Structure 1
Amino acid sequence: MRSLRLRLMLGAAALAILFMLALLPALQRAFSIALVNAIQQRLASDVATLVSSARIDGDRLSMPEHLAVEDFNLPESKLLGYIYDRDGQMVWRSTSTQDESVQYVPLYDGEPDVFTRARDDHGNEFFVYDVEIDLVGGKQAAYSIVTMQPVSAFRELVHGFREQLYIWLGGALLLLLGLLWLGLGWGFRSMRGLREELDQIEAGERESLSDEHPSEMLRLTDSLNRLLASERSQRERYRNSLADLAHSLKTPLAVLQGVSENLANAPGNREQVQVLQSQIERMSQQIGYQLQRASLRKSGLVRHRVQLAPLLDTLAGALEKVYRDKRVILERDFPEGLSLPLEQGALLELLGNLLENAYRLCLARVRVSARQRDGGYELRVEDDGPGIPQDQRQRILQRGERLDTQHPGQGIGTAVVKDIIDSYGGSLALDDAELGGACFRIWLPG
C-alpha cells in the first residue's frame, strides 16, 4: 500500500465506521428512552381520562358505558384500563380487556404513580401505569387506576427505527467517504504540483522547486532546493577538477612524446623508444578513459534526454573524413526526433566508440537503428564487417582486450561503452548483424 491518499482514506474510513458503530447504540438507546417516555405520558393521559369519568354512587364506583377515549371501548384495542380497590380487588375493567388476563396487583406503597411492566398468562409483556387516588368525583375514596399497553408495539417501533437507522447511517457513511475522497484529492493537488515540478527538474526544464506550495511543505521544498544546488555545485567542481587534471597531464605527456621521438633518431635506441612510446600512448588512453568514466557518470537527481539524429550527424561527419577512402554508407532506422535518456556527453562517447569500431571494421555499410521497447529504448549499431566469433564476445567487453591487432589502440572503447550503459541501468549484448557483421545491441530504461 504505497499510496498515501489511499492510506489516509482507509484510516479515515476506519475512524468513520468506528464512530458510526459507537453512534448506533447511542441513537437506539436515545430513541428507546424517548419512546418509553412518550408511552408513559400517553398512559398517564389515559389514566386522567378514567379518573375524570369515574363517579361514586354511595359506596360503589360507577363508570360510563362509553368512555371519551375510544380505544377503551373496542375489544380488539391494545389500550387496557383497570380499576382496583384498596384491597387489590378489580372493580372495573374496560371493554378492550375482555380477551386479556394480565397478572397485576396494585402495590399501594404510598407512591402517587408507578410506571412498571407486567405479563399476562401467555407471557406477553405490558407497560403499566398505576395511579393511586383518594378522591373521586369530590368524594373520599381510595382506588388504583391502571392503564396498560403491550410492549410488542414498542418493540416493533424500535425494530423499524433500527432498520431505518441502518439505512440512513449507511447512506451517510457512503456520502461521508465520498466527500473524504474528494477532500483528500483536493488536498493532494499540492503534492501533484510538487511531483510535476520534480519531473520538470529531471527533464532539465527547470533548476529548482518553486515556493508556491502549502506552508507545511515549504521546509521539504527548501531542503530539496539546497540538495539540488549542492549537487550542481559539486558536479561543476568535479568537472573543473577533471579538466584541470587533464590539462596538467597533457603537457608532461607531450614532452615525453617529443623526447621519445628525438631518441628514436639515435642509433641503437629504436627498441627502447618503441617501448617508451607504447607506454606513453597507453598512459594517455588510460587517463582519457578514467576522465571520461568519471565525468560521464549519470546524475542521481537530474534525468537528461538527447535527440539522436543531430548527434549522429556530428559523429558521421567526423568519421566520414577519417575513413573517406572506404566511402561508408550510413543507414538510419529510427523515428525523426527520437530522444534517448542519456546525458549528451555520455551518448556522444558511447555512440562515438561504437561507430568508430563499425567504420573501422566494416566493408561498406553501417546501420544505426533505435526504437522504444519493454518500457525503455533499444539502440543498435551494426556493420557488414567480419563480425565477432561467439566465443570472443565476452572477451572484448573486458578492459584492454582487443581482437583487431592491425590498428593502434588499447582496447578500452567497448569498456567505456559498457561502463556508461551500466551507470544508466542498461544492458549491452553482442549479436550477429543482418548486414553480416557485428551488432551491438543496447537497452536503456526509459
Structure 2
Amino acid sequence: MRNSIRFRLWSAAAISIVIALAIAGVGLRYLFELNVERRVVSELTVDLNELIGATSFAADGRLSVASTLSDQRFANPLSGHYWQVEDLATHSLVRSRSLWDAALALPEQAANGELRKEELKGPGGELTVAVLRTITDADGRAFRAVVAEDHRNVEVSVGEYVRDLAPALIVLAFALMGAFFIQITVGLAPLEGLRVAVRDVIAQRTARLDVAAPSEVQPLADEINRLLEAQGKALSRARSRATDLAHGLKTPLQVLSADIRALRKKGETELADEIEKSTGAIRRHVERELARSRLAPGVSGKAACRVREVAAGVIAVVKRTPWGKQLSFVIDAAEEIVAPVDEGDLSEILGNLLENAARFAKSAIRVSASRSSDEVVIAVADDGPGIPEAGLHAALSRGVQLDSKGGGSGLGLAIVSDIVEAYGGRLKMTNANSGLTVSIYLPRHG
C-alpha cells in the first residue's frame, strides 16, 4: 500500500488539506477576534463620548457627571462594563456603580484630546478592553474619562465562532479530500488502462499495447510497443536459427544411421552401439528443439481449435502404429468445447500423449475434455500399469525413459510440458486404479 502512487498522492493531499485548513482556521479566528475587538472599541467610543458630554466641573471646582450612561450594564455591580472619570488636579474619581468600590488603574496621562485604546485590569483583576481620553476645558481644568468592557465578552464571542467554524472546516476537509480522491482516480485512470494492456500482452491476448493513452503516457506506451516488436523479431530470429540448426543436423544423423547399419553388417557391433548411443542423444535434442521452435514468438491468446476434431485426427494416425492397432479409443468431449491453443500445437500435445499411452495401454485409451469459467481441461487416460509415484516427476525430464520397451526418445512429456507452459497452462499426471491419466489445464482468455 505504501508503494501505491494513488495512496501517496492521496496522503499528501490529505496532509496538505489538513495543514492548510488548520492554518486557515487559526487565521480566521485571529481575524474574527480582531474584528470583535474593533466593534467593541467602536461601541466603547460611543459610550465614552456620551460620558464626556455628561462630565463637567461644578462651581466649587468639583468634578461631576450629570447623568449615568444609557447602557444599564454600567449600573449593575461587576457586570463587566465600567466607566470612570478622574480629576487630574485632585485625582478624585467619579465611577460607575458597576465598579462598586474598586477603581480602574489607568496608564500615564495622555495628550489632551487623544483617544487611546488600552488593556486594563478590571475590579477583579480580569483583563478589560478600554478607551480613554483626556479633556481640558476653557478654564484649564482637566479630567480623564475611561470606558471599559471585560475581555471575556470578546473571548466568548470568539469561542462561539470557533465552535461554529470547526464543523464547517471539517466538512470542507472531507469534501476536499473526496474531490482530490476523484481527481487522483481520474488522473491515474490512463495508467490503469496501460496496466490492463500490459496484462493482455503478458497473457498473450495481444502482441502489442492497444491503448489510447493521454499525451503524457502515450510515449511510454509507444516505447513499450517498440520494445515488444524488437523482442518479437529477436525471438523469431533465434527460433529460426534453432530450426535451421535442428534441420541441418538431421541429414548428418541420417548418414550416421546408415554408417551404423554398415558397421553392424561388418560385425563391428560394439562400435556401432557406441555411435548409435551418441547419435540417439543428438536426435533427442534435435527433436526437442524442433518441437519448441514450432511455438511462434508471442503465442496469441486468440488461437483456438475444437478439441474433439483435433483428437479424432490424432487418433486416426495413432491407430496405424503397431501399438495403436490393438486398442480402442474413446473421445469424451462435446463438439462445442474449444481449447485456447493453436490446432498444430494441440495436435503435437495429443500426439505425444496418445503415443505414450498407446505403448502402455492394455486395451483402451480415453480422451476427455471439460471446461470451467477460467480454464479448459484435456485429459488422456490409459488402462496400463501407470508410473511409480517416485517416477512421476522424472517423467517430465528431457530424455528420461521409464519403460524398457524402447522405440521412444523420452521427450514426449517434456515437449508437451514446454508447449503447455508456453500457453500459460500446466500439466498434471496421476495414477488411477488402472493406468495413468495425464491432464493439461489451459487458461481461457476473455
TM interval, shorter chain, is 0.7 to 0.9
Measured in 1, the distance between the counterparts of 2:197 and 2:372 equals 25
Any idea what SS the aligned residue of 2:409 has?
Answer: coil
Out of 84, 87, 99, the position equivalent to 2:86 is: 84
What is the Cα deviation at residue 390 of structure 1? 2.9
What is the Cα deviation at residue 146 of structure 1? 0.6
What is the Cα deviation at residue 388 of structure 1? 1.8
Out of 123, 127, 130, the position equivalent to 2:129 is: 127
* Structure 1 residues 100 and 178, CA gap change in structure 2 (3 angstroms): farther
Any idea what SS the aligned residue of 1:325 has?
Answer: helix
Please give the per-residue CA displacement for 1:85-136, whole angstroms capped at 9, x wherever unaligned: 10473542234x155734423521437233222334533322221211113x
* 2:185 matched residue in structure 1: 185
What is the Cα deviation at residue 194 of structure 1? 2.1
Please, what TM-score do these two structures have when normalized by structure 1?
Answer: 0.82
What is the Cα deviation at residue 228 of structure 1? 0.8
* 2:388 matched residue in structure 1: 389
Please give the per-residue CA displacement for 1:404-424, whole angstroms capped at 9, x wherever unaligned: 222402322233344556677
What is the Cα deviation at residue 369 of structure 1? 4.5
* 2:328 matched residue in structure 1: 328
Task: Answer yes or no: is the 8 Å Cα contact 1:202–1:302 preserved in 2.
Answer: no
Task: Answer yes or no: is the 8 Å Cα contact 2:110–2:133 preserved in 1.
Answer: no
Please tell me the residue identity of whatever aligns with 1:141: R
Any idea what SS the aligned residue of 1:318 has?
Answer: helix
* 1:118 matched residue in structure 2: 120
Measured in 2, the distance between the counterparts of 1:24 and 1:394 equals 70
Any idea what SS the aligned residue of 1:212 has?
Answer: coil
Measured in 1, the distance between the counterparts of 2:37 and 2:332 equals 90
* Structure 1 residues 18 and 315, CA gap change in structure 2 (3 angstroms): farther
Please give the per-residue CA displacement for 1:280-333, whole angstroms capped at 9, x wherever unaligned: 45432321113434664985x976765562544443343344465234223436
Please tell me the residue identity of whatever aligns with 1:79: H
Moved more, 167-176 or 396-405: 396-405
Task: Answer yes or no: is the 8 Å Cα contact 1:202–1:303 preserved in 2.
Answer: no
Please, what TM-score do these two structures have when normalized by structure 2?
Answer: 0.82
Measured in 1, the distance between the counterparts of 2:100 and 2:228 equals 91
* 1:413 matched residue in structure 2: 412
Measured in 2, the distance between the counterparts of 1:289 and 1:324 equals 23
* 1:213 matched residue in structure 2: 213
* 2:351 matched residue in structure 1: 352
* 1:404 matched residue in structure 2: 403
* Structure 1 residues 62 and 121, CA gap change in structure 2 (3 angstroms): closer
Task: Answer yes or no: is the 8 Å Cα contact 2:74–2:82 preserved in 1.
Answer: yes
Task: Answer yes or no: is the 8 Å Cα contact 2:398–2:411 preserved in 1.
Answer: yes
Any idea what SS the aligned residue of 2:231 has?
Answer: helix
Task: Answer yes or no: is the 8 Å Cα contact 2:131–2:147 preserved in 1.
Answer: yes
Measured in 2, the distance between the counterparts of 1:88 and 1:400 equals 125
* 2:176 matched residue in structure 1: 176
Please tell me the residue identity of whatever aligns with 2:109: Y
Task: Answer yes or no: is the 8 Å Cα contact 2:54–2:67 preserved in 1.
Answer: no
* Structure 1 residues 422 and 109, CA gap change in structure 2 (3 angstroms): same
What is the Cα deviation at residue 244 of structure 1? 1.9
Matches within 5 A, 1:42-441: 42-58=43-59, 59-65=61-67, 67-69=69-71, 71-72=73-74, 78-87=80-89, 89-95=91-97, 97=98, 99=100, 101-105=102-106, 107-110=108-111, 112-135=114-137, 140-202=140-202, 204=204, 206-209=206-209, 212-258=212-258, 260=260, 266=265, 268=267, 279-293=278-292, 296=295, 306=304, 309=307, 311-322=310-321, 325-332=325-332, 336-337=336-337, 339-340=339-340, 348-362=347-361, 363-369=363-369, 380-419=379-418, 428-433=427-432, 436-441=434-439
Task: Answer yes or no: is the 8 Å Cα contact 1:118–1:126 preserved in 2.
Answer: yes
Please give the per-residue CA displacement for 1:168-208, whole angstroms capped at 9, x wherever unaligned: 11111100001001111211222233234334434555443
Task: Answer yes or no: is the 8 Å Cα contact 1:17–1:173 preserved in 2.
Answer: yes
Measured in 2, the distance between the counterparts of 1:324 and 1:263 equals 33
Please tell me the residue identity of whatever aligns with 2:148: M
Task: Answer yes or no: is the 8 Å Cα contact 1:102–1:119 preserved in 2.
Answer: no
* Structure 1 residues 28 and 346, CA gap change in structure 2 (3 angstroms): farther
Task: Answer yes or no: is the 8 Å Cα contact 2:263–2:272 preserved in 1.
Answer: yes
Please tell me the residue identity of whatever aligns with 2:359: R
Measured in 2, the distance between the counterparts of 1:38 and 1:247 equals 101
What is the Cα deviation at residue 259 of structure 1? 5.0
Please give the per-residue CA displacement for 1:37-56, whole angstroms capped at 9, x wherever unaligned: 22222212221121233344
What is the Cα deviation at residue 74 of structure 1? 5.7
What is the Cα deviation at residue 372 of structure 1? 5.4
Moved more, 223-232 or 275-284: 275-284
Task: Answer yes or no: is the 8 Å Cα contact 2:311–2:367 preserved in 1.
Answer: no
Please tell me the residue identity of whatever aligns with 2:250: K
What is the Cα deviation at residue 260 of structure 1? 4.8
* Structure 1 residues 207 and 438, CA gap change in structure 2 (3 angstroms): closer
Measured in 1, the distance between the counterparts of 2:34 and 2:416 equals 83
Any idea what SS the aligned residue of 1:403 has?
Answer: coil
What is the Cα deviation at residue 394 of structure 1? 3.9
Between the two proteins, the alignment pairs up a number of residues equal to 438
* Structure 1 residues 327 and 115, CA gap change in structure 2 (3 angstroms): same
Measured in 1, the distance between the counterparts of 2:68 and 2:125 equals 30
* Structure 1 residues 334 and 164, CA gap change in structure 2 (3 angstroms): farther
Any idea what SS the aligned residue of 2:208 has?
Answer: coil
Please tell me the residue identity of whatever aligns with 2:401: R
* Structure 1 residues 364 and 117, CA gap change in structure 2 (3 angstroms): same
Unaligned 5+ residue runs, structure 1?
A: none
* Structure 1 residues 23 and 348, CA gap change in structure 2 (3 angstroms): farther
Measured in 2, the distance between the counterparts of 1:29 and 1:343 equals 75
Task: Answer yes or no: is the 8 Å Cα contact 1:429–1:442 preserved in 2.
Answer: yes
Unaligned 5+ residue runs, structure 2?
A: none
Please tell me the residue identity of whatever aligns with 1:155: E
Task: Answer yes or no: is the 8 Å Cα contact 2:420–2:442 preserved in 1.
Answer: yes
Any idea what SS the aligned residue of 1:386 has?
Answer: coil
